[in-house]
A and B are shown apart, each in its own frame.
Chain A
Amino acid sequence: MSTDYHKESFFTKYIWSTDHKIIGLQYGITALLWLLFGFILMMIMRYQLAYPESPIPIVGALLGDGGLLPPEMYNSLGAMHGTIMIFLGVVPLAFGAFGNYFLPLQIGAIDMAFPKLNATSYWMYFVGSVVMVTGFFVPGGAANSGWTSYPPLSNIATTGQTVWLCGMVFLITSSLLGSINILATVIQLRTEGMNWMRLPIFVWVQFITAFLLLLAFPPLEAASVLQLMDRLAGTSFFMPSGLVVSGVALSNAGGGSPLLWQHLFWFLAHPEVYVLILPAFGIVVEVIANNTRKPIWGYKSIVYAVVFLGFMSFIVWAHHMFITGMGTSMSSFFQTTTMIISIPSVVILTALFMSLWGASIRYNTPMLFALGFLPMFGIGGLTGLPLGLAAADIYLHDTYYVIGHFHYVVAPGTIFALFAGIYYWFPKMTGKRMNETLGKLHFFFSLIFMNGVFLPMMAQGLAGVSRRLWDGGEMYAHAAGVLYLNEVMSISAWLLGMTQIFFIVNMIISLMSKKTGESNPWGATTLDWSATTSPPLGHGNFEVVPTVYRGPYEYSVPGADKDFTPQNEKV
Chain B
Amino acid sequence: MDIPFTVKERPDTGLYNGKLGIWLFLASEVMLFGGLFSAYVFLRTGAESWPVGSDILNVPMATLNTMFLITSSVTMVMSWASLKLNDFGKFKMYLGFTILLAFGFLVVKYFEYTAKFEHHLYPSTNNFLGIYFTMTGLHVLHVVGGIIVIFYFLVPGNKMWQSDPDRFVNRIEIVGLYWHFVDLVWIFLFPVFYLL
Binding site for B on A (CB under 8 A): 1, 109-111, 113-115, 117, 176, 179-181, 183-184, 187-189, 214-223, 225-226, 229, 233-237, 252-253, 255-257, 260, 263-264, 267, 539-540, 545
Contact = CB atoms under 8 A, between A and B. Distances in A.
Contact of B123 (A214, A233, A267): A233
A214 B138 contact: no
Interface stretch (B28-36, B85-93, B163-171): B28-36
Nearest to B29: A218
Interface string B7-51: 000100101010011001101110111111011001100111000
Interface of B: 1, 3-5, 10, 13, 15, 17, 20-21, 24-25, 27-29, 31-36, 38-39, 42-43, 46-48, 122-127, 130-131, 133-134, 138
Contacts of A219: 31-32, 34-35, 38
A188 B24 CA distance: 13
A252 B123 CA distance: 11
Contacts of A220: 35
A257 B41 CA distance: 12
Given A176-B28, A233-B133, A260-B42, 5 more contacts: A184-B24, A222-B32, A233-B124, A235-B134, A255-B126
A237 B131 contact: yes
A236 B10 contact: no
B39 A218 contact: no
A214 B134 contact: no
Contacts of A223: 35, 39
A253 B134 contact: no
A253 B42 contact: no
Contact of B31 (A183, A215, A260, A540): A215
A180 B25 CA distance: 7
Contact of A264 (B39, B122, B126, B130): B39
A540 B133 CA distance: 48
B173 to A, nearest CB: 16
Contacts of A253: 124-127, 130
A214 B42 CA distance: 23
A55 B17 CA distance: 57
A256 B138 CA distance: 20
Contacts, number: 135
A115 B18 CA distance: 12
B28 A217 contact: yes
Contact of B32 (A114, A117, A218): A218
B28 A260 contact: no
Given A111-B3, A214-B28, A234 B124 contact: yes
Contacts of A179: 24
Given A229-B123, A237-B127, A256-B43, A187 B36 contact: no
Contact of A234 (B5, B15, B123): B123
Contacts of A184: 17, 20-21, 24
A54 B103 CA distance: 63
Contact of B130 (A214, A229, A539, A545): A229
A263 B38 CA distance: 10
Nearest to B50: A255
A235 B39 contact: no
A113 B24 CA distance: 13
B102 to A, nearest CB: 22
Given A183-B24, A218-B32, A219-B34, A256 B1 contact: no
B127 A236 contact: yes
Nearest to A181: B21
17 contacts: A184-B21, A187-B13, A217-B31, A218-B31, A219-B38, A220-B35, A222-B35, A223-B39, A225-B36, A229-B123, A236-B130, A252-B124, A256-B43, A257-B42, A260-B43, A264-B39, A540-B1
A263 B127 contact: no
A363 B43 CA distance: 57
Nearest to B125: A253
A104 to B, nearest CB: 10
A24 B69 CA distance: 41
B28 A215 contact: yes
A181 B5 CA distance: 14
Contact of B134 (A181, A225, A545): A225
A90 B20 CA distance: 28
Please list the 6 inter-chain residue pairs (A to B) with the smallest Cβ-Cβ separation, ordered nearest first.
Answer: A222-B35, A234-B124, A219-B35, A235-B130, A218-B32, A218-B31
A1 B47 CA distance: 61
Contact of A229 (B15, B47, B134): B134
A454 B29 CA distance: 39
Contacts of A234: 122-124
Contacts of A221: 32, 35
B124 A114 contact: no
A214 B34 CA distance: 13
Contacts of A189: 3-5, 17
Contacts of B13: 187-188
